[in-house]
Structure formats: structure tokens, C-alpha cells
Amino acid sequence: MAKVVLAYSGGLDTSIIIPWLKENYGYEVIAMTADLGQGEELAPLNEKAVKSGASKIYIEDARREFAEEYIFPTLKAGAIYEGKYLLGTSMARPLIAKKMVELARKEGAEAIAHGATGKGNDQVRFELAVKALAPDLKIVAPWREWDIRSREDAIDYAAARGIPVPVTKARPYSLDRNMWHLSHEGADLEDPWNEPLDDVLLLITPPGKAPDKPTYVEIGFEQGIPVKLDGAALDPVALIEKLNEIAGKNGVGIVDMVENRLVGMKSRGVYETPAGTVLFSAHREMELLTLDRVTLHFKEIVAARYAELVYDGVWFSPLREALDAFVDSTQKTVTGTVRMKLYKGNCTPAGAKSPYSLYDQELSTFGREEIYNQHDAEGFINLFGLPLKVRALMEKKSGLR
């Protein structure tokens, strides 16, 4: 019997995909879940997968790989999609696909399957990764094939086959969680005019209910990578998890946005990214202290393009690898400590220091002339403004002004 590896979350969709694949393709279904920091969500998956008809399930611990090889490169690049989204789901999908490909090779599977819908970005991210890593594998996307069109249809399909799918109306949102973020979509959030209710949030204390006194945290960087929290050296997973807890208690990391999906439509999502919000802000402060103006400004252009690549699912591409090489070269001096002030949803810098700081107090002061001679500025301005002066003279001579 031919085998297929299914990206399995244990939710309604992927639970019914298991019998659907067996009935429509005759496949032996092997479920695969990547542990990216979902926490308690993973505990019941072994039993649920088998009861739904899978022959076996693999739960792959990829937390450290996720932090070191996906989160930190994106952080170093300063990549934020459309100025707001910290790419928590976007970064995770290529890694999940990579693990699926590895498992398909191990099990001798001929195909992989996923539960992404035909309207979303995730179908692109999963499938581009598979095409880049294993172009010979077949890809099955049930949402583009079956006649199930609603949650009610899916529940009926599960009930008819005796598949245990706990359904609740208490939380009607579509969720995606890993150590970097938690996303919420659907229900009342589909109307951009609706303000998210406080009970939407699961990781972050609503800012109005956060402590009345600010919390200060210190982030230590080495070549653009966060390695210390409040002076203590921590492994990547522990650092992110601890900072999630601290920032979340202070209401930091809520992103509410209408974004442009790759497939052409706009969608509204609410994202909780407490640690990520602090780390991006702190990393930016360290770069402001240690990068020269021209490099910093060009890197901002690279950051926007990098964010699009990640969002679009083009992780395994020559361009992303080339941009990584550029980014890494800029990070050689991005080392030091940034102090951040967290207060009722706000995350603001409160100090930065680095052995590679380009800030020179003697140059900045107005009272010293030994290094910077203010008279030199006149010649600089004359030359810098020469094109403007020449154009103005032309316009005057030709009667344009």
C-alpha cells in the first residue's frame, strides 16, 4: 500500500483528512506533527491520530531548529511583513514541510498532504518547500478537491466515521500557535471594524489590565543573535519562552492588522507575539548604535524584500540564501546590550551599549571643535546643494520661475 505523510495538527480538518485520504487515494496515512512550541496542544495527538485512522504518528521536536535556523535569521534581517506582521506562521511552514520530506524519505512515502485551504497562504508555503526539497513527491491538498465546504460538513463527515473531534463554540477563532506567536482569525474578527475582545488573547494580558509599574528587561546580543536575558545566558528556546512570559504579562506584543495575502485577497488577523516584539525592537536599537548610515539604510530595503520572501513561502531559494549572506556580514558588530521598558502594551528602548558603538560623544557635543570643525560644513553644503542651485538658475534663466 502506498504511503502519504500528512501534516497533522489534531484539529477538525486534519482529523477528517486521514479517512478521506484512505477512502479516496487508498493511502496508508502517516501523521507528522512538528513540535515548534505549541505546548499542551501536543499531548493528545498520539491517541487522536490513531483513532482517526492513521497507521502511526511522529511528533518531531524542532523547537531549537526553528529558533536558530528560521526565527533568528529573520530577526537579524529585520524582516517584518507590511510593517506589522512578525511572520510566525510564515517561518514555520517551510520547516514543517522539511520535516515531512525527511519523514517521507524515511518511510518510503510517495506523497505528502496538508490541510491548508485553497484561499490561504499556507498551501503555497508548504508546496513551494516540497518542490524545492523533493520535487518527485506528490502533493495532495484535500481542500482543493473535496466537496466539504463548511465546518458543519466537516463535523458530519467525522461523525459518520466515528472520528472523535471535540467541537466547541466557546472559541470560534482559527488559531495557529508556536513559540514565536499565536494567531487568531475568523468569527467577529472578519469585520475590520470590530475591535478584538480581551478574551481573544491567550498569551498576553490586555494592556489595560497589565501591571501599573513598568518592567525593564536587558537583551544581550552577539552578532545580531539574542543570547542573554537580564544577564543570564539562555539557549534560544528558553530565552524566547521566558521573554514571552515577561512581555505577555505587560501587555506587549499585540498586532491587529489587515494584510495582503499572496493569493490576492486581504485578510484580518490578530497576532500575539510578545517575545518577538521585544526582540525586534531591541535588535533595531542595537543596529542604530552599531551600523553606519549607508549600511543601515540599505539593510532596510533588504528587510522588506526578505519579509516578502518569507511571507510568500520562498524560504528555500537562492535569493534568501544570498540575502542571509549580506545580513550576516552586517551583523559582525551588532553585539552589546539593550535595555527595554515594558509598560501596559508599550515596548520602548531605555538604553543601549556596545563595544562596537559608532556613537562618539566628542563628535556629537556642540562644545568641541578638535575633531569636527563646524566651518567645514559650509563647503559640504555648497557641494551637496549644487544640483539644486544649478536647476534653480536654469529655471530663472528660462522663465520657468
Q: Is 175 annotated as a binding residue?
A: no
360 is catalytic: no
Q: Is 198 annotated as a binding residue?
A: no
Q: Is 121 annotated as a binding residue?
A: yes
Q: Is 259 annotated as a binding residue?
A: yes
Measured CA to CA, the distance from residue 349 to residue 74 in angstroms comes to: 21
Q: Is 67 annotated as a binding residue?
A: no
Cell 501599573, located at residue: 212
Q: Is 359 annotated as a binding residue?
A: no
Measured CA to CA, the distance from residue 204 to residue 139 in angstroms comes to: 37
122 is catalytic: yes
Cell 485512522, located at residue: 53
Catalytic residue among 35, 52, 63, 122: 122
Catalytic residue among 13, 63, 268, 354: 13
Residue 227 burial (CB count, 10 A): 16
Q: Is 14 annotated as a binding residue?
A: yes
Q: Is 174 annotated as a binding residue?
A: yes
13 is catalytic: yes
Catalytic residue among 174, 281, 317, 357: 174
Q: Is 125 annotated as a binding residue?
A: yes
Q: Is 85 annotated as a binding residue?
A: yes
CB 94 within 8 A of CB 68: no
CB 356 within 8 A of CB 335: yes
Catalytic residue among 35, 52, 63, 93: 93
Q: Is 115 annotated as a binding residue?
A: yes
Instruction: Tally the C-alpha atoms within 13 A of residue 198's C-alpha that lie toward its C-beta.
Output: 7
Q: Is 368 annotated as a binding residue?
A: no
CA 231 → CA 45, 219, 239, distances in Å?
37, 8, 11
174 is catalytic: yes
Strand order of the β-sheet with 174-177 is: 174-177, 182-185, 266-272, 254-260
Measured CA to CA, the distance from residue 256 to residue 5 in angstroms comes to: 34
* Active site residues per annotation: 13, 93, 122, 174
Task: Specify binding-site residues.
Answer: 7-15, 34, 85, 90, 115, 117, 121-122, 125, 174, 183, 259, 271
Task: Specify binding-site residues for L-citrulline.
Answer: 85, 90, 121, 125, 174, 183, 259, 271
Task: Specify binding-site residues for L-aspartate.
Answer: 117, 121-122
Task: Specify binding-site residues for ATP.
Answer: 7-15, 34, 115
